[in-house]
Structure 1
């Protein structure tokens, strides 16, 4: 194999170089790529690069000779179980040529881990399109949280959406039922967080600003409705994206999320209510890769609908997906 050149396509805008190589040369190891970059054998528009370098449409990549085995395509995985394929298809609330938006049920993990045998990521083969491209997760939500998950249909779209999340250009709205009534009824929770422990037993805790392990965490909250002072319906908008941020922030307000298995202690589990987390990723508003913005909403899951009904909260109809300047969106 001789030296070749590749032109970066429009779909590959803002992709990391190592991810580009993983797409085109899946058998090339990260260590081998780093060596090729370090020795100047891989170049972008004639200049040196690293695996973390971002690429742009129209740029030229120099590809040095690679062992034949490193250019082979990976073996196609076994077909997804038809039942799982039908299950993930039922989660789709929006789909176009660029993105797919899922309504994930409570209790289903986004990705795998110790002891997890079923998760969204393993089911994505069921959403391959006509081009046989496997969708990619752009972000994740907790196992016990229900609601919206955004998928990219191509690597280039994934890179654009990841950049939007990093740049905080994505507006996320969550609905929660909490025990108690926050005072005041709206505001910004500006409470740094720190990680305590490791693995599945790790917790996020409130931290002081001078704690060297603390990270900035901010959440905009508003009481939408309340059943006296016992339970409240909150609209939550995370301004940062920390693990378990909303759950810890609600706890720091003195109003833990109803049914939270990890935070809030006994206060989060009053008698008479289902013992499941009442946190729902209700709405996503983000820049669409093809222009404009897309806003998608997800209906409440069954256990939260039941609680809303019992408390007299009225959620109203779930708005249809809306893309600015576009018509004819479809599932």
Structure 2
């Protein structure tokens, strides 16, 4: 068997092309011998080592973009992020992110605690989640905000449109969240491992037509901030967020068939998860004053709840 094929089967987290590149660049050894031929045949009893070089994060550049600035002072800035905007550069999104826009808007006055690729970033919102996000302009502010995230003294609330109407109109979901054992790209409620997560929810408005309710507007308040927390928790009680391609696809296929033609039209126009971070409140790290901000629902969600 070829060396690159053998190693790609042994190290499933690395693609065959990545393995080949590592061999050609001299990062694969057999004993003390550096290997450089991906097509070399593997022999029984041989042991191989792969040295994966540390990735170098490119320094993002400023790119002028329209930003909806809700509040700004010398220490921090609060942005109303639109759906579709990635927060910081990553694989597949090297530029035109919120970080690029912040660098253009704030210049060099952003905290460096988050690293070269994430200046000013204290917390994140998923690409297709809209709403309020606070960024720090200096390290003191960054630490102060991060401490409030850690001790849960910072207020965060979201509005979501979910499939169906939760059986309990108000409740608390307290389940651990970790990587799905079936799909490592997804998060899930888990019984072993995972991180403690608490979401408080309240039904604000049932949504439907013809006397039937197909969906509902729900307010969610976070005590913890785990990856995809609201999306996973609402799915766990049978009320996935509408438009969520990762966690709500099955519900969408099932319910969309039973709704009216108008309902189906509105559903099809929702091309992202209907989740909006509408409230954030925290103590200003310098003044100590409590400041709170709210954001109206974006137009796509407004149209949906007007059914």
> TM class, shorter-chain normalised?
0.5 to 0.7
Deviation at 1:126, TM superposition (A): 1.7
CA distance in 2 between partners of 1:176 and 1:169 (Å): 22
Unaligned runs of 5+ in 1: 1-76, 312-331
Instruction: For residue 234 of structure 2, give the secondary structure of its aligned residue in structure 1.
Output: helix
Task: Summarize the Cα distance change of 1:98–1:279 in structure 2 as closer, same or farther, 3 Å threshold.
Answer: same
Task: Summarize the Cα distance change of 1:120–1:197 in structure 2 as closer, same or farther, 3 Å threshold.
Answer: farther
2:60/2:99 contact within 8 Å kept:
no
Instruction: Kindly indicate whether residue 96 of structure 2 is the aligned counterpart of residue 114 of structure 1.
Output: no
Instruction: Kindly indicate whether residue 275 of structure 2 is the aligned counterpart of residue 279 of structure 1.
Output: yes
Residue 198 of structure 2 corresponds to which residue in structure 1? Answer: 218
Instruction: Kindly indicate whether residue 62 of structure 2 is the aligned counterpart of residue 80 of structure 1.
Output: yes
CA distance in 2 between partners of 1:292 and 1:181 (Å): 38
Aligned length: 223
TM (normalized to structure 2)? Answer: 0.68
Deviations 1:190-209 (A, max 9, x none): 1211213799x61111112x
Instruction: For residue 116 of structure 1, give the secondary structure of its aligned residue in structure 2.
Output: coil
Alignment of 1:1-331 (within 5 A): 80-81=62-63, 85-87=64-66, 90-117=67-94, 118-128=96-106, 132-134=108-110, 136-196=120-180, 202-208=185-191, 211=192, 213-227=193-207, 228-268=212-252, 270=256, 271-272=264-265, 273=267, 274=269, 275-289=271-285, 290-309=287-306, 311=307
Q: Which moved more, 1:188-197 or 1:219-228?
A: 188-197
CA distance in 2 between partners of 1:185 and 1:79 (Å): 46
CA distance in 1 between partners of 2:163 and 2:60 (Å): 46
CA distance in 1 between partners of 2:182 and 2:291 (Å): 37
Unaligned runs of 5+ in 2: 1-58, 112-119, 257-263
Deviation at 1:300, TM superposition (A): 1.5
Deviation at 1:303, TM superposition (A): 1.2
